[in-house]
Amino acid sequence: MGVVNLDSEYDFLQELTYFRCGAAVPFAGRYRLIDFTLSNMCNAGIRDIAVFTRNKYRSLMDHLGTGAEWDLDRKRGGLFILPPDWNDPTDVSKGDLQHFHNNRDFFSRGSSQYVCVSGSQFVSNIPLHEAFRHHLQTEADITLITKTFPTLEEEHRNCLKTEHDEYGWVTALTNDKTNPAVFSGMYIIGKRLFLDLVEECISRGKENLFHDGIKNNLDKLHIQTYQHEGYAAVVNSLESYYKHNMRLLDPEKYRELFFSDHVVYTKIKDEPPVKYNSHIEVKNSLIANGCVIKGEVENSIIFRGVKIDHGAKVKNSIVMQRCHIEEGAVLEDVIIDKDVTVSKNRMIIGAKEQPYAIAKRSTI
Amino acid sequence: MKKECVGMLLAGGEGTRLGLLTKNMAKPGVYFGGKYRIIDFTLSNCANSGIDTVGVLTQYAPFALNRHLGIGQPWDMDRSDGGTSILPPHRVKNGGNWYSGTADAIYQNLHYLDQYNPEFVLVISGDHVYKMNYSAMLDFHKETGADASISVIEVPWEETSRFGIMNTNEHYTITDFEEKPMHAKNNLASMGIYIFNWPVLRQYLTDDAASADSSHDFGKDIIPKMLGDHRKLSAFPFRGYWKDVGTVQSYWEANMDLLEDESQLRLDDPDWRIYTVNPNQPPHYIGKEATVRGSMINEGCQVFGSVQRSILFYGVETKSDSFVKDSVIMPNVQVGKQVTVERAVVKENTVIPDGCVIKPADEEQVVVIDKDTIFEQFSYANQL
């Protein structure tokens, strides 16, 4: 069974997380960040998935619906979106342990003996079933999924790094700024051990299952690592969000994320194919269905249902769902949230290092 | 459960004039418009018109079509009461037969209609491309109090000899029907869309089945018989885009119509979505050296060459220095380097080797190729 724990994720994306949680932020032209984690779980055959959410979950619930797009609208099990509504007077749990404690039924009802816990900020197409096989073969208590990045970047600063011996057993979890082995926030654990750790943490008044239950028990637990070799990106700030969207314009990365053995699923919109008019320019861009392009687009990510009128120019930008860029408008290095209208001949230019973000549903 | 109106969608036609396009595929299952199959237009019309119970009559090569229809979920027809039902020919106590005509197909499924005991039956076919509100036609049918209504469209006078022409009085009551007349008195052509009062149709179908010299066809037998019996038949005038994609040429033209800057057939109307099975592909990628003009491109494509006035279905890749013009490229086709494709329909999963030049010998024609095509004949050396 799977848990997408959004409890400890901060709404890091400024304007983009005014109205939604980080997991529901649109990414790569038609997805939301949570789609990657959910699809990884589904593709590995996980059929019971809980989403622990704390706040601003309207948009997330709208997106996930019954879970049909991930094939999670099942008679038994399937998708459970679990916002906080707890009234147990005997409850003494704190932090994300509140979620684990108050949703014990989810864990006890599922028939699976293993739990895969993940956040939503690690964008990848991981063969989780292989990680699970590794977990079983090594008879580990816990398997952490890690990725060794060729170079460490700003967004990895706050990620935990793993140190392990030659057999892959974890010896330390640190914030070492020189260690490129980044922990993805995703781990596999036996259900019994998992529930024991939850109880132990609560009885000691702790607030974070991973930090207090796992990281601080390193000496008692046998923890393995599973190295993910393919595409991965950590999205935990506006800068990393912009950067990793833009990097998908490299066809190699695009193929690695989307055309590996497994499909990334998302909510279906029934938009028609993109319509390009006869006098347009488009270069090096990702464009999702439902768009009508009459102007110029370069180095940009265009989400579903965007209209770009005659003479409008969009460059190095991210334009989200159903935006309308009117005649002669110019956009450069900006992120525009959903349903924004950019009026005729407006010019908005941000900076590459610090893209300018425009909040949802505004007219400028 | 009683339903006011049930749809019967004829989807068993072979579409022989579509040649290679219907080699292994019923005509309604042929890909169209970058994302869809032809049948999606009629099914979406039903969904958007509030008709939630549709029997789909299949016969010729229904494999891909059956899979496409599934339980009707893309059209919101996975209903506990009604929804889509696939109705293939079947055996019954005293034999059972292949569907020998459009009327016979429905006659053999009287039991299906009887379980809903509808007041009206909408008969449509899955081989036309158009957007039409059947509920407006149903209102018209009820207002005129006719036994049957037939949707008609004005066609150019010089083309009347290709259609079934309805002669009407000023109240759109049909007085006379002429199949492909040499000298038409009217230019209202039947679109093959009928609404019948179910008890009346039931009687006519039963009589027709017993008649030995009938071809069991709505246009040839049922409608003329009803006119002969002085039943009231109304013509429902339709205005808008409607195309019978019966030949490779008209199929290609209908696709090209979508590429006009201001196309008559809008696919992006949020109030009239065309629904289809969604393959869940990423946004398409247009490369640094690519050129795209006047085209429609679906998700999952990777374009590195030039694409002009063409339609790319999902998962198509065009490699660098390739040139695709005036063509329809179906799903998962690979267009190699330095390939030229002009006025062609390329069927799904075809891999066009580097350097091929594919165009019709006659500039007015359209060439159709598929994965069994022998590409040596198109290699650059052979063109010199």
Annotated binding site of B for alpha-D-glucose 1-phosphate: 99, 164, 179-180, 190
How high is the pLDDT of residue A85?
A: 81
Would you call A29 and B296 a contact, using CB atoms and an 8 Å cutoff? no
**B120 touches B195 (CB < 8 A):** yes
| pLDDT confidence tier of residue B14, bands split at 50, 70 and 90 | confident
Would you call B285 and A286 a contact, using CB atoms and an 8 Å cutoff? yes
| pLDDT confidence tier of residue A143, bands split at 50, 70 and 90 | very high
| Range A271-291 average pLDDT | 95
Task: Write out the two tokens for B53.
Answer: 């119970």
| Lookup result for tokens 């991973």 | A210
**Contact list, A276 vs chain B (CB under 8 Å):** 292-297
> Searching chain B, which residue's CA lies closest to the CA of residue A307?
B268
Residue B379 scores a pLDDT above 90: no
- The answer to whether residue A364 is domain-embedded is no
How high is the pLDDT of residue A272?
A: 96
| pLDDT confidence tier of residue B381, bands split at 50, 70 and 90 | low
Would you call B287 and A280 a contact, using CB atoms and an 8 Å cutoff? no
| Range A306-326 average pLDDT | 96
Q: Which of A278, A289, A303 lies nearest to residue B293, judging by beta carbons?
A: A278
How high is the pLDDT of residue B97?
A: 86
Domain boundaries, chain B: 5-257, 285-382
Annotated binding site of B: 99, 164, 179-180, 190
Would you call B292 and A263 a contact, using CB atoms and an 8 Å cutoff? no
How high is the pLDDT of residue A134?
A: 96
How high is the pLDDT of residue A317?
A: 95
How high is the pLDDT of residue B135?
A: 96
What tens digit of pLDDT does each residue of B234-293 get?
A: 999 999 999 988 899 999 999 999 999 888 999 999 899 999 999 899 999 999 999 999
Q: Which of B280, B294, B297 lies nearest to residue A278, judging by beta carbons?
A: B294
Smallest CA–CA distance, residue A90 to chain B, in Å, is 43
Would you call B283 and A280 a contact, using CB atoms and an 8 Å cutoff? no
- Give the separation between CA B116 and CA B128, rounded to whole angstroms: 26
Question: Which residues are within 8 A (CB) of B52 and not within 5 positions of it... i.e. 6 or more apart?
Answer: B46, B76, B77, B79, B82, B83
> Searching chain A, which residue's CA lies closest to the CA of residue B262?
A277
Would you call A280 and B282 a contact, using CB atoms and an 8 Å cutoff? no
What tens digit of pLDDT does each residue of A5-22 get?
A: 998 777 777 788 888 888
Smallest CA–CA distance, residue A114 to chain B, in Å, is 29
> Searching chain A, which residue's CA lies closest to the CA of residue B280?
A265
| Range A145-162 average pLDDT | 91
How high is the pLDDT of residue B15?
A: 79
Smallest CA–CA distance, residue B370 to chain A, in Å, is 22
What tens digit of pLDDT does each residue of A193-213 get?
A: 999 999 999 999 999 999 999
| pLDDT confidence tier of residue B383, bands split at 50, 70 and 90 | low
> Searching chain B, which residue's CA lies closest to the CA of residue A304?
B283
Residues A341 and A238 in one domain: no
Residue B339 scores a pLDDT above 90: yes
Residues A44 and A165 in one domain: yes
Smallest CA–CA distance, residue B200 to chain A, in Å, is 38
How high is the pLDDT of residue B111?
A: 93
Q: Domain B285-382 sits in which CATH superfamily?
A: Hexapeptide repeat proteins (2.160.10.10)
How high is the pLDDT of residue B382?
A: 58
Would you call B293 and A301 a contact, using CB atoms and an 8 Å cutoff? no
What tens digit of pLDDT does each residue of B351-371 get?
A: 999 999 999 988 889 999 998
What tens digit of pLDDT does each residue of A227-251 get?
A: 999 999 999 888 899 999 999 999 9
Residues A133 and A161 in one domain: yes
Smallest CA–CA distance, residue A327 to chain B, in Å, is 16
Q: Is A125 on the interface with B (CB under 8 A)?
A: no
CATH number of the domain at A152, please.
3.90.550.10
Q: How big is the A-B interface in CB pairs under 8 Å? A: 109
HEC-encoded secondary structure of chain A: CEEEECCCCCCCCHHHHCCCCHHHCEECCCEEHHHHHHHHHHHCCCCEEEEECCCCCHHHHHHHCCCHHHCCCCCCCEEEEECCCCCCCCCCCCCCHHHHHHCHHHHHHCCCCEEEEECCCEEECCCHHHHHHHHHHHCCCEEEEEEECCCCCHHHCCCCEEEECCCCEEEEEECCCCCCEEEEEEEEEEHHHHHHHHHHHHHCCCCCHHHHHHHHHCCCCCEEEEECCCCEEECCCHHHHHHHHHHCCCHHHHHHHHCCCCCCCCCCCCCCCEEECCCCEEECEEECCCCEECCEEECCEECCCCEECCCCEEECCEECCCCEECCCCEEECEEECCCCEECCCCEEECCCCCCEEECCCCEC
Which B-chain residues 259-298 have CB contacts (< 8 A) with chain A?
261, 263, 267-268, 273-276, 278, 280-288, 290, 292-298
- The answer to whether residue A266 is domain-embedded is no
Closest CA to A26 of A330, A266, A297, A258: A266
Residues A128 and A183 in one domain: yes
Residue A225 scores a pLDDT above 70: yes
Across chain A, mean pLDDT equals 92
- The answer to whether residue A220 is domain-embedded is yes
Domain total in chain A: 2
How high is the pLDDT of residue A361?
A: 87
What tens digit of pLDDT does each residue of A83-123 get?
A: 888 888 888 888 889 999 999 999 999 899 999 999 999 99
Across chain B, mean pLDDT equals 92
How high is the pLDDT of residue B380?
A: 60
Residues A291 and A237 in one domain: no
How high is the pLDDT of residue B162?
A: 85
- The answer to whether residue A270 is domain-embedded is no
Instruction: Name which CATH class applies to B5-257.
Output: alpha beta
Of B196 and A110, which is predicted with more confidence? B196
Residue A164 scores a pLDDT above 80: yes
Residue B375 scores a pLDDT above 90: no
How high is the pLDDT of residue B18?
A: 86
Longest dimension (CA), chain A: 68
- Rounded to two decimals, what is the model's pTM? 0.93
Residues A281 and A249 in one domain: no
Evaluate whether B5-257 and B285-382 have a shared fold.
no
**A287 touches B284 (CB < 8 A):** yes
Which A-chain residues 36-95 have CB contacts (< 8 A) with chain B?
69
Smallest CA–CA distance, residue A189 to chain B, in Å, is 31
How high is the pLDDT of residue A266?
A: 95
Would you call A272 and B283 a contact, using CB atoms and an 8 Å cutoff? no
Residues A254 and A290 in one domain: no
What is the percentage of chain B residues whose pLDDT exceeds 70? 99
User: Predicted ipTM?
Assistant: 0.92
- The whole domain housing A241 covers 2-258
